[in-house]
Chain A
């Protein structure tokens, strides 16, 4: 039984959206069902590797209804099968369950999404900023943040030759 059929029979009410583009098999998952489906895929269908976890800000995307999309790429290391799962979250309080209990790889990947997009993951053991400085307040990869920043990059004292 293929993964798609198994998911359909296991979660008939979930409203999963299956699609394919090139070689990517994609599943649109509602955020409420996310954890159940990921647990099912990992434990029953051996998707034992989380290859990628990222987010997209759809603020300026034509025809999009939701603000953020969060993408999970799973790999079954035995059969080599790949799945791309996508779920959506919205302002003002974008929260998703953390998948750290399933895959440890999610630790830093979720921290990066939190740092760059401000999406928090409930149940993550150590959700702090990772790439930006701790005192940074904006979320740089959101579409409303300008490419050249708001002046944070030059907020330092100037040293002259006579110092030190």
Chain B
């Protein structure tokens, strides 16, 4: 068995194991209101996925969260460059990012509810979770760029664009990839949590909130499962995109 097939077999076995544990617990509890069985949840998810509303709602939520993640990633990159270039920027931004990272999502949501419209708030919250992670990782990547290679670039008078493309970008790429890997998860979860708290129209968060409100536990599980599956798919797609962007620079730090 090759390593890919073994990985797949491991993943399937793990999935089956936990599904069995879930099924067993659901049987022990014996009340769908408290803990629905995995089969019922999957059936409900399939039913939901057969409606146009489901796709409109998930697309809107994905759009909101992705807008927050992409904007925050761009801002994080920009601020990381600024931090590397200026000591003053580093001194000013470091405590700010620490505060953002340490503040509970719920506090931000409550505060932001005063300032922002419900529809925009999940965008803002998802971005807020992503920003410090991207900033910290990319800053570290820039700082850890090999000083010896930068000396070579200096001696040979390489143009700035080339130094950026050939030295900085490949050095920072693994840090950026690691940042996105964790930031996507954070951003997605925080964005959906913000939707649950602010219940904007056409949102997964609203569906989760309403499921809880009307004690439709199977729906709650089905929407939650949808969130998990979407998170996995989005993470895979984004990482594949980054890998493709970095493919022109193979080997060393930029090698997959």
Q: Bound pair: A and B? A: no
Which residues of B approach A to under 8 Å, CB–CB? none
